[in-house]
Structure 1
């Protein structure tokens, strides 16, 4: 270090006019002077611990970058976990939606089958009611025809009897009818 200080003092005494000529290790050579100035500059930087300070700053910067990378990795892992969770939930929701659709389809099929059975029962009831109405109308028509036939037969018998019967026979028939009715009522 002492030798370096002496060298600096010697260099300080050299003038720029003398630096242009002479051997390389002479203060008159500009290349040598620049080399010495560079060495002095580096020595001053080392003396004031600039490389260590720069190294510390770079280390601090590297630690900051490393912590940011670690934080980014943690965020990435958390994002992947969330993504997996959401994908799992989406799959569960899709499965649930599938089950709901399947249940709705089976319910709709069951409701359609029940409606079909109800319709068949309703048709059967209406058919039975229609057949009863037809039978009732048929029996009413048969009764009406019988009543008409009886009325016609009675009228025809009345006419025939009235033409063939005398007053004494009519009175006798009336008396017999009264006795018969009296016997049936008591």
Structure 2
């Protein structure tokens, strides 16, 4: 933001300060979190969650860096948390569907699948934000390079590079190499 923020008025939920903040910072936050969303409507919903979190955590802002960067960091953390929650729900739904399809599930197989998912999620969490977001959009969400570039606000070559770099980083991780080796045997 160009003007300093009156944190006391913001904490008091002053509508004028809130409106100015949303107008000026809202688009930057939206673009920062767009890669976490399935589509623009989902990004709009996430943005609302982000604003709630920013206001709830306002007391944590210490003024050491710019408020904009702090708010964007809070927003990205909210989105990562939502992704983890959605992933857990999908895993539970997948496990429930597997139970319905298979009358006698093999506990060892279930454990192995769960462990592999956990390894993959931990490995993805180790990637830098940009590469992780690009890999998730390509490998999990199935987006093409143009969609990734648009979501990340970068050129197509940059999007391709981030995907390739992220996949290369994953391939260098011992846990992923072991996962691939186990899968092949």
TM-score by length of 1: 0.22
Larger helix share, 1 or 2:
1
TM-score by length of 2: 0.22
